[in-house]
Amino acid sequence: MIRLALALLLLALPARAEEIVADLSQDRISISTNFDGSEILIFGAIKRDEPQPIGQQLAIIVTVAGPREDVTIRRKERKLGIWVNSDSVEALGVPSFYAVSSSVPLVQALRPEEDEEWAITTPRALVAPGMAQMSDDDPDFLDALIRVNTATGTYGTSEESVQVRDATLFSTEIALPADLTEGNYNTRIFLTRDGEVVDSYGTSIYVQKVGLERWIYTLAHEQPLIYGLLSLFIAIAAGWGASAVFRVFKT
């Protein structure tokens, strides 16, 4: 086993000469009133000092992780004939969005040990040290978190969605949903050879509300009393206004 690992290490060594050079179509997303999701183009090239190694499968994996948040996962149970939330698990620091794209199926692109080290696939990214804190005996809850979030489009894995040309140029598009949380979206790009991570590149996309959205959000959080009164005022003004309009129509 050790011999095998050593052999693999030796094989992998020359490949370290490969490096990722990458960029994003935009590193800042503005959430305005008509924001309806966004597509981010992630593209780049593999820089080499020497000819590329022959016979080792090359793969590119791109991950985008949204700001972390604490969530509570609850399980329903039948009690006295009705379905109620019974057990719950709190997961701290779970990404609010997570997308993985790869150029080849992930089983080929990534060895489990490497996945564990770099926390790339969704289950790994969720329990990565320093990220989520969840008890080890709750795999059902972790599965549920991934299942529910995948169903809503919050988490996604799309294999073979990174295009690689001539083993050098690569590009992919990541769709960000409309219900984005504000904050930094960490983007990581991995280059693997035979499932081992050769190089990685990290950058981030900054998502921020702008204009009216920004103004309302800031006012609501910093001047809640004024915001509340303003909400009521607008509501009552609209109510009275519509009533007045109807009165005009009637006469």
Partner 1 sequence: MQIYLPIAEVSVNAFLLLGLGGLVGILSGMFGVGGGFLMTPLLFMIGIPPAVAVATEANQIVASSFSGVLAHFKRKTVDLRMGFVLLVGGLLGAALGVQVFALLRELGQVDLLVRLCYVLFLGIIGGLMFIESLNAIRKSRSAGPAPRTVRRQRGWIHALPLKMKFRTSGLYISVIPPFLVGFFVGILAAIMGVGGGFIMVPAMIYLLGMPTKVVVGTSLFQIIFVTAFATMLHATTNYTVDMVLAVLLLVGGVVGAQIGTRIGVRMKAEQLRILLALMVLAVCGKLALDLLLEPAELYSIGTGGHG
Interface with partner 1 (CB under 8 A): 31-37, 69-78, 81-85, 88, 90, 141, 144-145, 147-149, 151, 178-182, 209, 212-214, 216-217, 220-221, 224-225, 227-232, 234-236, 238-243, 246
Short-list 46, 67, 49, CA closest to 190: 46
- When the beta carbons of 2 and 225 are compared against partner 1, the nearer one is 225
The Cα–Cα gap between 151 and 119 comes to 21
- When the beta carbons of 116 and 213 are compared against partner 1, the nearer one is 213
Name the 3-class secondary structure at 59. strand
Strand partners, 204: 186
- When the beta carbons of 6 and 234 are compared against partner 1, the nearer one is 234
Q: Which residues, other chains included, contact 48 with Cβ-Cβ below 8 Å and sequence gap of 6+?
A: 17, 18, 19, 168
Distance in Å, CB of 241 to partner 1, minimum: 8
The Cα–Cα gap between 150 and 144 comes to 10
- When the beta carbons of 29 and 110 are compared against partner 1, the nearer one is 29
Distance in Å, CB of 83 to partner 1, minimum: 6
Short-list 181, 189, 207, 200, CA closest to 97: 181
Distance in Å, CB of 238 to partner 1, minimum: 5
